[in-house]
Amino acid sequence: MGEITGPIVMKFGGTSVADADAIARVVGIVKAARVSSGLPPVVIVSAMSGVTDRLIELTHAAERRLDAHVLNGVAELSHRHFEALERLVPPELANDVLVEIGNHLDDLRALLKATGILRAASPGAHDAIVCAGELMSSRILAVALEHNGVPSAWVDARRAVVTDGAHTGAAPLADDTRAAVAREVIPRVAEGRVCVIGGFVGATPQGVTTTLGRGGSDYSAAIVGAALDSREIQIWTDVDGMLTADPRIVESPRVVPHLSFGEASELAYFGAKVLHPSTILPAVAKDIPVRILNSRRPQASGTTITAEPPAQDRPLAAVACKRRVTMVEITSTRMLMAHGFLRRVFEVFERFRTAVDVVTTSEVSVSVTVDDDARLEQIVEALREFAEVNVENGLAILCAVGDNLRSDPRIAARVVASLEGFPVRMVSQAASRRNVTIVLRDADVADGMEQLHEEFFGVVKGA
């Protein structure tokens, strides 16, 4: 493994480049980073917000019929990008980029036309269409930086991120990407340029365009950061970082300064939507810290995710919840938990492709929760062949997450105790022992979360 001293990677999502004003804010943030860090940062950027959705919608529309709706859609995209460009840079500087964006739009029209004729877009065609969003946004950001006195270089993501051929969800090829980044990115960084690369997009070793899956720009940032041995990867978004609770439920949650990768994974599973941890795995595997920062409040210190954060004395990292779940209680019709009972139970859930979240077992029964009850009737019918089944709707899972739950059993006890007064249906500590999950009535979850949050993160009154 190389030294972790490479340039920082800064990734900006779709809302951060939604229009000229947003892009101007990004320019300011990159410029400040350019000044304060030794090497110029490498920038990864999403498509302008809504553009990927629109490109996918236009592809489906073209599969039905290439009509005015599709052509107007391309015209709107064209207008939106040219307008941002015109507002950000003077015409003399915009000219080259105008031509390049025009070329991307020509390709897009040609691909949609072919889709209309074929009445189908292959996965490869799909990727060649949707890549336009990131290719255009990255062109605009690169020239806007240049205009603001930040030497920059646009790097074609299809030459920097090398993937397998699994269109619409390609996996990176680490060694090939490392070589590509060494060729396409590192020399420009050495010249003092800020490289700007569209996220989400890559290409096979043969040069066929691929995409990494929805939300893939975070993945691009981790892939490029790993290939560069970056010192740090920054994910710039529109929130202050990971919070100690859902702000729609708890009045004033705090930002969690440090999270372990394991904690971040648990929280993402329970609905914290800031970032999908699996997308940053290439960075975490190399021990590169990933920071979540707010492009609207760049001074906020954000959340740093690492494989092993510095020893922390906080009992919990955060609390989260999953609402509207259903509990299924399954009791063996024989008196004792017969050998193979659990296997038979889970085989039913598997057969009906329904994931279970929380599981508790006793001598003769097992309780599970599911959040997708589409096939519940069939599941219950199949279970009744060998068990008594009881279904309870309108429940929720409250989840307390923290690495220290593993080392200090008193924390789990405190979590449960803090919910005094609420009828608790299930309590479980996961095998990772990094979370405690509690199933209670959905009607109680808001108050329960408030009370749990107050216990662990509340301001000490009168202090």
Binding site for Mg ion (CB under 5 A): 13, 215
Q: Residue 441 binds which entry of ligand ASP, Mg ion, none, with Cβ cut-offs from 5 to 8 Å by kind?
A: none
Q: Residue 47 binds which entry of Mg ion, ligand ASP, none, with Cβ cut-offs from 5 to 8 Å by kind?
A: ligand ASP
Question: In terms of CB distance, is 127 or 134 closer to Mg ion?
Answer: 134
Please state the closest distance from residue 108 (CB atom) to ligand ASP, in A: 15
Question: In terms of CB distance, is 10 or 348 closer to ligand ASP?
Answer: 10
Residue in the block written with tokens 């648990």: 266
Please state the closest distance from residue 69 (CB atom) to ligand ASP, in A: 21
70 Rama sector, left if φ>0, alpha if ψ -120 to 50, beta otherwise: alpha
Residue type, 41: P
Alpha-carbon span 452 to 457, nearest angstrom? 8
Kindly list the residues in this chain that would bind ligand ASP in the complex (CB under 6 A).
13-14, 46-47, 52, 133, 199-200, 214-217
Question: In terms of CB distance, is 50 or 215 closer to Mg ion?
Answer: 215
Q: Residue 225 binds which entry of ligand ASP, Mg ion, none, with Cβ cut-offs from 5 to 8 Å by kind?
A: none
Helix axes 68-88, 123-147, angle to 10 degrees: 20
Q: Residue 264 binds which entry of ligand ASP, Mg ion, none, with Cβ cut-offs from 5 to 8 Å by kind?
A: none
Please state the closest distance from residue 321 (CB atom) to ligand ASP, in A: 25
Residue in the block written with tokens 């030294």: 3
The answer to whether 327 and 368 have CB atoms below 8 angstroms apart is yes
* Lookup: tokens for 2: 């190389």
Please state the closest distance from residue 403 (CB atom) to Mg ion, in A: 26
Question: In terms of CB distance, is 216 or 309 closer to ligand ASP?
Answer: 216
Non-local CB neighbours of 64 within 8 Å, separated by 6+ positions = 119
β-sheet bridge partners, residue 209: 203
Question: In terms of CB distance, is 23 or 66 closer to Mg ion?
Answer: 23
Q: Residue 200 binds which entry of ligand ASP, Mg ion, none, with Cβ cut-offs from 5 to 8 Å by kind?
A: ligand ASP
Non-local CB neighbours of 391 within 8 Å, separated by 6+ positions = 326, 327, 328, 329, 376, 380
Please state the closest distance from residue 222 (CB atom) to Mg ion, in A: 13
Burial class (CB in 10 A: 0-12, 13-18, 19+), 228: buried
Question: In terms of CB distance, is 54 or 425 closer to ligand ASP?
Answer: 54
